[in-house]
Amino acid sequence: MAVQLVISDALNRRVGQFEPARFRVFQAAAVDVVKGRARGRLAHTSAFSGRQIFVLEHQGFSLYYSQNPKHPGPVVFEEFLSKGEEDLVLDLFAEGPD
């Protein structure tokens, strides 16, 4: 079975700047998702597109990825944040209910 993977623009700009240890954790988490060895917890479902965003916590980092269960397509790796980065993003860009 072919799997299509996409890395979001926001994450793609930062992956090359990851320290080697962080990059290895990112790779391990991404491979676990792709191979079906790990599945994140459902964090959000878009009311518009039906796309589901999952969060997989792995070695002190959170890998955010999305899929659309109704229309098979790419797994999109959205973001990869440490706990401190996650808290900062949530504080700066707090969203209200959909």
Q: Is residue 84 in a domain?
A: yes
Q: Is residue 55 in a domain?
A: yes
Q: In which band, very low, low, confident or very high, does the pLDDT at 87 lie, cut at 50, 70 and 90? A: confident
Give the 3-state secondary structure of the chain.
Answer: CCCCEEECHHHHHHHCCCCHHHHHHHHHHHHHHHCCCCCCEEEEECCCCCCEEEEEEECCEEEEEEECCCCCCCEEEEEEEEHHHHHHHHHHCCCCCC
Overall number of domains in the chain: 1
On the question of pLDDT at 90 being above 70, the answer is no
Q: Is residue 68 in a domain?
A: no
Residues 37-82 have pLDDT tens digits of: 999 999 999 888 889 999 999 999 999 999 988 877 788 999 999 9
pLDDT at residue 89, rounded to an integer: 65
Q: Is residue 48 in a domain?
A: yes
pLDDT above 90 coverage of the chain, percent: 50
For the chain, the average pLDDT equals 85
Alpha-carbon dihedral angle through residues 42, 46, 49, 53, given to the nearest 10 degrees: -30
Q: Is residue 22 in a domain?
A: no
**Cα angle: 61, vertex 65, 71; to 5 degrees:** 165
Q: In which band, very low, low, confident or very high, does the pLDDT at 97 lie, cut at 50, 70 and 90? A: very low
Cα–Cα distance for residue pair 30/36, rounded to 1 Å: 10
Cα–Cα distance for residue pair 81/64, rounded to 1 Å: 8
Q: In which band, very low, low, confident or very high, does the pLDDT at 98 lie, cut at 50, 70 and 90? A: very low
Joined together, the tokens standing for residue 86 give 């996650």
The whole domain housing 77 covers 41-62+73-93
